[in-house]
């Protein structure tokens, strides 16, 4: 099983550009999450979804948007990229809401210059 896949692995953006980070899971999990990890910091939750058509903000949602049209896909959209969005982004999924183990993708390393 592929589990959680993310594309691209790396990306360099110029300030003000936009992009979409893709996330797909094949485990039929209802719950999906987007995190960012800054150096020396833990993972911070950006957005999460409890099922197709339902999303909600996490701890650090500003500058991002998400959509969930299918169970499998949970893309993260960056509008007007800023240097503060330079980070590693992880997508995760779980069969239950947050309380138990989550399955993570390999991450996308984003640099905004």
Partner 1 sequence: DQQVKQNSPSLSVQEGRISILNCDYTNSMFDYFLWYKKYPAEGPTFLISISSIKDKNEDGRFTVFLNKSAKHLSLHIVPSQPGDSAVYFCAANGGAGNMLTFGGGTRLMVKP
Residue 37: CB minimum distance to partner 1, A: 8
Rg (CA), the chain: 13
Rounded distance, CA 91 to CA 103, Å?
A: 8
DSSP code at position 95: S
Binding mask 33-72 for partner 1 (x = CB under 8 A): -------xxxxxx--x---------xx-------------
Residue 16: CB minimum distance to partner 1, A: 28
* Segment contacting partner 1 by CB under 8 A, of 14-22, 63-71, 79-87, 101-109: 101-109
List Cα–Cα distances, 113 to 16, 79, 95, in angstroms. Answer: 10, 14, 37
Beta bridge mates, 44: 36
12 touching partner 1, by CB under 8 A:
no
Query: Residue numbers of the site for partner 1 (CB under 8 A)?
Result: 4, 40-45, 48, 58-59, 90, 92, 97-107
């Amino acid at each position: 099983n592929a589990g959680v896949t993310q594309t691209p692995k790396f990306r360099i953006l110029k300030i003000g550009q936009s992009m979409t980070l893709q996330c797909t899971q094949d485990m039929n999990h209802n719950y999906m999450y987007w995190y960012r990890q800054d150096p020396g910091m833990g993972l911070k939750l950006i957005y999460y979804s409890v099922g197709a058509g339902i999303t909600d903000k996490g701890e650090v949602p500003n500058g991002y948007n998400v959509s969930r049209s299918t169970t499998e896909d949970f893309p993260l959209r960056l509008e007007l990229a800023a240097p503060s969005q330079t980070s590693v982004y992880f997508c995760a999924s779980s069969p239950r809401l947050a309380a138990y183990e989550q399955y993570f993708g390999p991450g996308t390393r984003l640099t905004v210059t």
